[in-house]
Amino acid sequence: MRALADWNAWIVRALLAGAAVIIFFLGFLVCADVFGRAIFNSPVKGTPEMVSMAIVIICFLLAGYSVQSGSMIYTDVFSSIFGVRGRAFAQLLSAIFGILFFGFIVWGSYEPMLHSWVSGEYEGEGALRVPVWPARIVVVIGAVLVVVSYLMHAVGATRALVTGRTDDVIAQPASTHL
């Protein structure tokens, strides 16, 4: 289990760094588009298509890290009242719902991902057409990593339900720091 947690932590941190690089370059693209539009009356062609694809890619690159680091929306108002087992139950329930939700995303996105790869699907018309398959691949890979992270949280929560120990409530990866 520790090897899977370490592997997942490494992959998720690498995707986090990739998302940061995309955000960095996206900032330059948007600035160039705004300045080109304002100063030269000529925006960067394809900026709306690239930005829309980049937002989807960034969200799914960051999803695994947010689950792994425990940064998903969580309130402890009710679970703190019930002690260790209450928190463990709340986390187990959250992990089950997360597994189901992101599992459905994987299930529903796999075939469209293959179709966009095989057919060469593009977004946009005219001067710049942006391929769709990178965003679709990132959605599937990101959702799979989220499912793996939720599975590790579910194992830790189940252990805490059985043992009643607080250190099992959240299945922490080896390290979530960059």
What does the pLDDT average to over 161-174?
64
What does the pLDDT average to over 46-51?
91
- Chain segment 115-151, per-residue pLDDT in tens: 999 999 998 877 788 899 999 999 999 999 999 999 9
Q: Is residue 176 part of a domain?
A: no
The tally of domains found in the chain comes to 1
The pLDDT mean for the chain works out to 88
- Chain segment 64-114, per-residue pLDDT in tens: 999 988 877 666 666 667 778 888 888 899 899 999 999 999 999 999 999
pTM of the model: 0.86
Which structural domain, as residue segments, surrounds residue 62? 2-168
Residue where the block lists tokens 């187990």: 92
Q: Is residue 173 part of a domain?
A: no
